[in-house]
Every structure is written in C-alpha cells, then in structure tokens.
Amino acid sequence: GNTVKYQYSLGIYRIVEWSDLISAHTVPGESIIRGLSEVGEPKGRGLLLLEEMSSKGNLAKGVYTVERVRMA
C-alpha cells in the first residue's frame, strides 16, 4: 500500500494531480485500496477495482474470488 501510495502522489508523474480515475488490481490485497484512498479520496479521485484476469489459465480462483468481492 505504501509504495503505490507514494507512486500515485509523489512519483515522477504525480498521477493524483491530473487523473480523475485510476484502476488497481485486487491481487495485492486491501492495502492497495487503503493506500490509494488515503491520497485520492480527499481530492475526489475515483478507484476502479480490477477483479478478474482474462488471461487463459490464470490462477486467481477459489478463495481469491470470495475475498476480492469482500474487498469491493
């Protein structure tokens, strides 16, 4: 969560300053949501959670499926 938070707010592109909406995958867990929300929510930014992988044979199944829905 901390790494993505700093990349989003203080990185070379300072994405939080110009992007109204970003996307993030739920694979890293809830910390990515918390980190991005801490920076983006006060500025009215949106976060689109990517919960499925379309690649053939992906391993994101089972318990992961249940947890990603809970996170959203």
Q: How many folded domains does the chain comprise?
A: 1
pLDDT digit string (tens) for 10-58?
A: 999 999 999 999 999 888 889 999 999 999 999 999 999 987 777 777 7
Q: Which residues of 1-26 are buried (b: 16+ CB within 10 A; e: fewer)?
A: beebbebbbeeeeebbeeeeeeebeb
How far is Cα 19 from Cα 28, in angstroms, rounded to an integer? 22
pLDDT digit string (tens) for 57-68?
A: 777 777 777 787
Whole-structure pTM over 0.75, yes or no? yes
Give the range of the structural domain holding residue 26, as residue numbers without chain letter.
Answer: 2-71
